[in-house]
């Protein structure tokens, strides 16, 4: 709390009185700290793959290039690190695009099943690499008025996680509607999440296990993007999870006014 002591009216030559401004700066400070943390996290996250790329390029230049086997291994690492940088930049851009929007244009009515089928096609190469059965329980005809790309991104992030954190088992999607909106349920029988981590999952760059997330190609921003999209649609997201049994993300998206 701070006070702004003396207030002098411009046209008056004498002091008219004292204006005491009491403002709670806790929220402002909190926002400022969050912004600083974000910048320092981004810098760190960008620097890690960059340092690794530079190191391997340097080693190649200093002789490793003449050993084909080693050179190929290093080039593969450089490829993975470049991909990581690219994913990270895409996620940072998505997050900043969502944050600078206060309301999404609900362009048209879209079929949820069609969006989910498209998302599953995109994720097919990742599904194929594992022993995962997809249980797609969504019927045709469930529509939602939204910005299609945004809702597609929400499903990509949640399904990508469900697949990433399940080695062997099932990943399921169900969807239902009532007078108020749409309820979407994305669940998996994967590794699960300890209870103590659940309240922090939606924070930017928060990961239960940093190394594991990185190895899986995670940026630590996926759920933070999900949370922002759900908030943009004035919806809700709940998580239920048990270690070793799996996780369930339940999203409620209310219907909104048509805003062209
Ligand atoms: P990441 O890119 O690391 O996956 P996210 O923001 O998408 O970042 O998720 C944050 C963290 O939440 C992950 O690092 C992981 O520890 C945990 N998590 C998210 N979804 C799941 C899931 N379906 N099963 C187990 N853990 C999950």
For 137-186, write each residue's pLDDT tens digit: 999 899 999 999 999 999 999 999 999 999 999 999 999 999 999 999 99
HSE of 119 in the Cβ direction (CA atoms, 13 Å)?
26
CA of 78 to the centre of ligand 1 (A): 24
Give the position, in ligand 1's atom list, of the atom nearest the Cα of 220.
8
Is the CB of residue 226 less than 8 Å from the CB of residue 239? Answer: no
The residue whose CA has the least distance to atom 2 of ligand 1 is: 218
- Coil/strand/helix, residue 207: coil
The mean pLDDT value of the chain amounts to 90
Q: What is the mean pLDDT of residues 231-257?
A: 95
pTM for this prediction: 0.86
CA of 209 to the centre of ligand 1 (A): 9
CA of 229 to the centre of ligand 1 (A): 17
Q: Reply yes or no on whether the pLDDT at 204 is more than 80.
A: yes
Is the predicted ipTM greater than 0.90, yes or no?
yes
Is the CB of residue 251 less than 8 Å from the CB of residue 154? Answer: yes
Instruction: Compute the residue count for the chain.
Output: 260
């Amino acid at each position: 709390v701070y006070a702004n002591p003396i207030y002098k009216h411009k046209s008056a030559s004498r002091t008219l009185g004292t204006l005491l401004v009491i403002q709670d700066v806790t929220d402002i400070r909190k926002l400022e700290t969050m912004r600083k943390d974000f910048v320092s996290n981004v810098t760190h996250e960008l620097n890690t793959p960059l340092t690794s790329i530079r190191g391997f390029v340097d080693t190649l230049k200093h002789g490793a290039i003449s050993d084909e086997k080693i050179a190929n291994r290093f080039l593969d690492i450089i490829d993975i690190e470049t991909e990581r940088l690219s994913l990270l930049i895409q996620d940072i851009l998505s997050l900043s695009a969502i944050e600078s929007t206060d309301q999404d244009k609900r362009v048209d009515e879209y079929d949820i099943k069609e969006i989910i089928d498209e998302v599953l096609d995109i994720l097919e190469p990742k599904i194929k690499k594992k022993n995962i059965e997809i249980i797609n329980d969504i019927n045709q005809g469930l529509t939602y008025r939204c910005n299609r790309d945004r809702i597609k991104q929400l499903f990509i992030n949640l399904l990508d996680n469900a697949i990433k954190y399940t080695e062997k088992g099932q990943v399921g999607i169900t969807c239902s509607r009532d007078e108020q909106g749409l309820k979407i349920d994305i669940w998996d029988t994967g590794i699960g999440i300890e209870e103590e981590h659940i309240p922090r999952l939606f924070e930017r760059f928060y990961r239960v296990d940093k190394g594991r997330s990185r190895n899986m190609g995670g940026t630590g921003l996926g759920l933070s993007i999900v949370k922002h999209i759900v908030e943009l649609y004035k919806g809700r997201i709940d998580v239920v999870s048990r270690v070793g049994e799996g996780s369930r993300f339940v999203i409620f998206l209310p219907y909104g006014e048509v805003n062209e």
